[in-house]
Structure 1
Amino acid sequence: MAGNHNELQMRGIKRETMSKQVVDQIIGLLRSGQLKPGDKLPTEAELSGKLFVSRPVLREALSSLETMGMIHRKTREGTYFADKIGSKPFSIMLALSAGDIPAIMEARMALELGLVTVAAEKISEDQLAQLEELLRLMALRTKDYVDLDKEFHRTIAYSANNPILEGSIDPLLNMFDETLSQIALTDRDHAITLQEHQVIFEALRRRDAAGAFSGMYAHLNHVRAKVMKRLAES
């Protein structure tokens, strides 16, 4: 385990973009080698004192890191860096980009457009059946269907059967959903979303890579437009 927490070198945080700076500082403990994967972080009280930030700001940063799989919290034991964090540079980059909604949206588009074309070649009949069932459930649930939406995209990503890319999709979808919840999109059009998912599904069932790419692009571009519109209004 690493040395005394009192010896850790961390800079004070400026007022602007506090949460993001806290994330950067905590990840900096890994990059500098002061702490290692699996090590326990200082307590919230210690971190707040060292970084000169309030508990709410610190907890927001810790929540972002937890969403990325960078840290995990053990009840009554404290907060720890994930054991395998050294092999997850994507998660580190993503955590540092927390709050950069355009960049997160572009990263999701770039990853999923590639995955869906590969999925069109590799997807199994069982996975197609899973997608069809998710669409059926989504049609019945006109509100609060975000979990079904995410599972639909995750199933497609995993059907590409590429272990290198699989490690990227979950943290990216989690970050996107967390960001989306902060924007509070109230104008989600259930019918359009369902139709867009149906187009993607039909293309995958036909093993039509170009059609799957086109359908996914139309869907994600529509989501991006709604997100950016909401951002501009906020």
Structure 2
Amino acid sequence: MWDKGPVAQGVASRLQEMIRTGVLKPGDKLPSQRILSEQLHVSRPTLREALLTLETLGLLRTLPARGTFVLDPADQAPRSGWRYDDAHDLRDVFQTRMLIESEICALAASVMTTDVSNALAALAQTFDDAWQKGDLVAHVEADLAFHRGIADACPNRMLASIYANMQHLLSETQRQPIPNTDPDRMRQSIAEHKAIVAALKACDPPGAGQAMRAHIRNTARCAGLDLN
């Protein structure tokens, strides 16, 4: 099946750049999805995915029967709704993430290679750099790639497969807290990624699992959830 994900990411990046450069200004209403998909030369499902990504990141807001509008970045973005509320409670997803990803990370540490740990370190740096530049789309994509990279390194392929099957839910929990993340928390998140990499480089399974567990618990707090 054709994966619209990378294309949707590209569309989200293009629209984000239009917002950042003032082509689309705060309060502007976007054209209808039919017109916008024609202008951007993408399918409407791909466009919808890109718009949902930007709305989750706090750059757009869709109002029923009125359309989609650009939010003012100077304003505190409203807390994004949980996109999959009809299927899974947000707390349940974070709890599942903490359980599965901490074990995946610990197992990955037991077989970690220099090449993989260097690639993860590069993604952690991209995560940092994109935040400093205000590129939220690239920031989140680096985060997603970082966590996928750890899952790919897990020697337990059943766990890695479970992770892959949950990808749509996991991706949303990584985007959802962004509008509510203050600079101090983001600096902490950046440091948490580096702590995970350090534990992986040291081939320290308990340390890697603990670092991932702390990272997910702290991310959940940005989404308004206390997992303690």
TM-score for both structures, normalised by structure 2: 0.54
Aligned pairs for 1:141-152 within 5 A: 141-142=130-131, 143=134, 144=136, 145-152=139-146
- Give the C-alpha shift of residue 97 in structure 1: 6.9
Aligned-residue offset at 1:166: 1.7
- Which of 183, 202, 214 is the matching residue for 1:206? 202
Mapped to 2, the partners of 1:180 and 1:98 lie a distance apart of 17
> Is the 2:117–2:201 Cα contact (8 Å) retained in structure 1?
yes
Q: Give the drift of 1:223.
A: 0.8
Which of 103, 120, 137 in structure 2 is aligned with 1:131?
120
Q: What RMSD, in angstroms, separates the aligned Cα atoms of the two structures? A: 2.8
- Closer, same or farther in 2 for the Cα pair 1:218/1:180, shift >3 Å? closer
Matched, 1:195 2:184: no
Task: Trace 1:43-192 onto structure 2 (pairs within 5 A).
Answer: 98-142=87-131, 143=134, 144=136, 145-178=139-172, 181=175, 185-188=179-182, 189-192=185-188
Matched ranges for 1:212-227 at <5 A: 212-227=208-223
Q: List gaps (5 residues or longer) in structure 2.
A: 1-47, 53-83
Change (3 A) 1:173 1:185: farther
Q: 1:101 to 1:141 in 2, by over 3 A?
A: same
3-state SS of paired residue (1:185): helix
Q: Report the TM-score when normalising by structure 1.
A: 0.53
Cα distance in 1 for partners of 2:147, 2:174 equals: 16
Q: 1:217 to 1:134 in 2, by over 3 A?
A: same
Q: Which has the larger radius of gyration?
A: 1
Which runs of 4 or more aligned residues in structure 1 lie more than 3 Å from their structure 2 counterparts after TM superposition? 179-185
* Residue identity opposite 2:142 in structure 1: L
CA drift of 1:229 comes to 4.8
In structure 1, give the amino acid aligned to 2:194: Q
Given that residues 107 and 156 in structure 2 are in contact (C-alpha distance below 8 angstroms), is that contact kept between their aligned partners in structure 1? no
Cα distance, 1:204 vs structure 2: 0.7
Question: Which consecutive residues of structure 1, in runs of 5 or more, have no partner in the other structure?
Answer: 1-58, 64-94
Partner of 2:24: none
Contact 2:140 2:175 in 1 (8 A): no
C-alpha contact 1:108 1:173 (8 A) present in aligned 2: no
Change (3 A) 1:196 1:111: same
**CA offset digits 1:146-170 (Å, max 9, x no partner):** 1111111111111112221122213
Q: Secondary structure at the match of 1:228?
A: coil
- The count of aligned residue pairs is 139
